Amino acid sequence: MRQQDQHADRRQADPGPAGPGADLVQRHVVRVLVVAQILGGLGAGATLSLGALLAAETSGSSAWSGMAATMATLGAAAAAVPLAGLAQRRGRRVSLATGSVVACCGALLAITAASLSLFPLLLVALVLLGSGSATGLQARFAATDLATEGTRGRSLSLVVWSTTIGAVLGPNLFEPGQVVAGYLGIPALSGGFVFTAVAQVAAALVYSLGLRPDPLLTALQRQAAALPDDARPPGGRRGLTILAGNPSARFAVATLMVSHAAMVSLMSMTPVHLHDHGAGLSVVGLTISLHVAGMYALSPVFGWIADRAGKLRGILLGQIFLLAALLIAWQGSESEAFVTLSLILLGLGWSASVVSASTLLAGAVDVGERAPVQGTSDLLMNLAGAVGGALAGPALVLMGYSGLGLAAAVLVAVLLAWTLTRPTSTRTTEAAAA
């Protein structure tokens, strides 16, 4: 597996000599991304926790509360490709700052919608807020633009890990938001979005001022300098076109889609399942908090595994975690302890799979075609999550929580089988394409 990972990474054109200060530049880029991700995660955490409550209040029915996560996810999917295209033309600095500004506009529009009690306007605001999630996903790839093969996973995973801080703090902005709302004379539930707007503006400033030199533009310049004078660097193709001819990239994107869909489908229905079985809000809150910790807190460990043991082994570990989580949910759905254990393993499996697959994707394509592929990957990943979340509700009604866990387990088992057979089934194809 390790040899195949290295072979896939060698397909990426060498961006050229990095120079003596390359390591310092890369560490600076990662530090900037970490700070911005903390701020962006703060806004995203507030959106997920307050958006559902605000949707129920504005619409007048709790039946519409799930639209908050759905619209934010669709917004992230819609923003993925345009932001990637902007990164390809203008660099990561402009793209990431733009995504944060759009998310800030979404937060301000959410406050307006709450003040006017306009539910359709709130849905538009949530779509714009999804741009913040798309920006966070693109930031993890920005950490790989100047990274070496041996450090790419760790750089990416540090940016993923930094989301933990904002994701944990964001849902706790309800009471401070009420204080701010009272001072500004706006609805109580919209006060948290003031923090979101401020955090996104701060993130945009960090990107704009801190990402100098721009990591993607620098990598492209190094590649161009390393090519012969009569050679043209790869570029100009759409993400789907690139994926069609790149088995490693296709596998990485499929892993991201399946892992995200499985995680969202089970996670989104767990609070409903626990509540229906008499669990208190404290148990529900603890379960989700442990799940979020599993998603982000150990991502540097999985980045280290991807760099040292290989991306495919990291993906394999993630799929084993996911499958174990879903099987426990299937067999232990009546036990709060087993459901909590399932959610912890689900978060760990998502983290290992996403970090390793994202690292594999970053190394499987030429630097000149990295942005469009990554944009397409984020689009497909978010759409898979949206579909998984949308189907999870009817599945819960028809099959129960245990049936939902089993259905998702079958999907993950197929991907696990693909992962196990991949070293032998694709070696010839990739050798021919190299």
Residue 302 lies in a domain: yes
- Please say if the pLDDT value at position 62 is more than 90: no
Question: Do 202 and 106 reside in the same domain of the chain?
Answer: yes
Query: Which stretch of 218-227, 244-253, 296-305, 403-412 has the lowest confidence by average pLDDT?
Result: 218-227
SS3 content of the chain, % helix, strand, coil (to 5): 85, 0, 15
Counts of helices then strands in the chain (DSSP H, E): 17, 0
User: Would you state the pLDDT for residue 142?
Assistant: 92
More confident call, 129 vs 222 = 129
Question: Do 214 and 262 reside in the same domain of the chain?
Answer: no
The residue from 224, 258, 276 where one domain ends is 224
Region 166-195: what's the mean pLDDT? 81
Domain of 264, CATH number, reads 1.20.1250.20
User: Would you state the pLDDT for residue 231?
Assistant: 53
Question: Do 179 and 283 reside in the same domain of the chain?
Answer: no
Question: Do 218 and 282 reside in the same domain of the chain?
Answer: no
Region 408-431: what's the mean pLDDT? 73
Region 338-348: what's the mean pLDDT? 94
CA atoms of 154 and 366, how far apart (whole Å): 20
Residue 233 lies in a domain: no
DSSP assignment letter at 332:
-
Question: Do 203 and 278 reside in the same domain of the chain?
Answer: no
Per-residue pLDDT reduced to its tens digit, 97-108: 999 999 999 999
Question: What residue has token string 């707007």?
Answer: 197
Residue 171 lies in a domain: yes
Residue 8 lies in a domain: no
Question: Do 54 and 149 reside in the same domain of the chain?
Answer: yes
Per-residue pLDDT reduced to its tens digit, 365-417: 888 888 889 999 999 999 998 888 888 888 888 898 899 999 999 999 999 99
Among 340, 285, 26, 344, smallest CA distance to 154 is for: 26
Question: Do 179 and 249 reside in the same domain of the chain?
Answer: no
Question: Do 204 and 269 reside in the same domain of the chain?
Answer: no
CB 315 within 8 A of CB 255: yes
Residue 70 lies in a domain: yes
Q: How many domains, in total, are found in the chain? A: 2
Per-residue pLDDT reduced to its tens digit, 243-278: 988 999 999 999 999 999 999 888 878 877 887 777
Range of the domain at 319: 242-434
Among 163, 164, 157, smallest CA distance to 143 is for: 157
Question: Do 215 and 70 reside in the same domain of the chain?
Answer: yes
- Please say if the pLDDT value at position 166 is more than 80: no
User: Would you state the pLDDT for residue 432?
Assistant: 32
Question: Do 250 and 173 reside in the same domain of the chain?
Answer: no
Q: Which one of 15-24, 207-216, 265-274 scores highest in mean pLDDT?
A: 207-216
User: Would you state the pLDDT for residue 50?
Assistant: 73
User: Would you state the pLDDT for residue 213?
Assistant: 92
Residue 232 lies in a domain: no
Region 106-119: what's the mean pLDDT? 93
Peptide bond into 394 cis (omega under 30): no
The whole-model pTM stands at 0.83
The overall average pLDDT reported for the chain is 84
